[in-house]
Amino acid sequence: MSTYGTFPGARPRRLRTSPAMRRMVAEHRLHPADLILPAFVREGAAEPVPISAMPGVVQHSRDSLRRAAVEALEAGVAGIMLFGVPEDAKKDAAGTAGTDPDGILQVAIRDVKAEVGDDLVIMSDLCLDEFTDHGHCGVLDSEGRVDNDATLERYAEMAQVQADAGVHVVGPSGMMDGQVGVIRDALDQTGHEDVSILAYTVKYASAFYGPFREAVGSSLQGDRKTYQQDPANARESLRELELDLAEGADMVMVKPALPYLDILAKVAESVDVPVAAYQISGEYAMVEAAAANGWIDRDRAIMETLTGIKRAGANMILTYWATEVARQL
């Protein structure tokens, strides 16, 4: 027989008793407008080309990219981040296809802009790795090292042609020192003051990029550890953040997301600009592979990972599930 005071007076479980109760007291909620869809478009593709390491994701043809943009818009997704995949024959040491006004990425920007106008935020990857025959994010010097300042000149050209094509936001992902400032100057000096910069402020040299390499047909030789951040380091993320904001970044990003939620939280607590996180290819592939083997509940795992990213402080999440999740929400 129990006596008064034996049982707890504080019972947190009272607020978990039903779906309606849990929904009412939820501290964080996903919304379709939180989501951005990364999309790949392959030059010369007549039909979408499946990416084996990312089940359900494709290299789009120009036509299927237009449809994907419309579907994302109709689902309430906020934006689309475009990556161009050129023909192998057009890759060279300087990544000239990346600054060709008729290159695949610029063509894709114009296609999507013609389809959705300003109703969907059109973003573009501003980097050379898809377009170089060596697969690095910049041009190389005589000793085969990525030349930071020579690469900045190429980024300035890329910013101009992407803006000319009608992009709303450029996403410089190469992790070159000073890239945001050079790109901001290039945009402003060519009459594109309204084009925003989503700075890849924190981008780690991660093992989770593997499936992405297939997605963009990467020709990478070696690794990117001399310009992407060391996973062991946290303080330098805040240094990168300070520099990007001083150079004119409108929004900042942490990439990858799940292995670096601590970094995402630090960044979110430190700024008054929008913060994005990129749920990258390896994160996507792990969930899809485990679900395919019956090891996890796919839909619950997707929502749980995205909620965790949101809880850590992301205002925007780039995810390959964007349209699917937006429809569910």
**Catalytic center residues:** 203, 255
Q: H or E stretch including 316?
A: strand 316-318
Q: Do 41 and 83 touch, CB atoms closer than 8 A? A: yes
What span, in angstroms and rounded, lies between the C-alpha atoms of 123 and 38? Answer: 9
Burial class (CB in 10 A: 0-12, 13-18, 19+), 142: exposed
List of residues 6+ apart from 193 with CB closer than 8 A:
187
Q: Do 147 and 120 touch, CB atoms closer than 8 A? A: no
End-to-end CA gap in the chain = 48
Give whole-number Cα distances, 43 to 63, 209, 210, 254, in Å. Answer: 11, 22, 21, 29
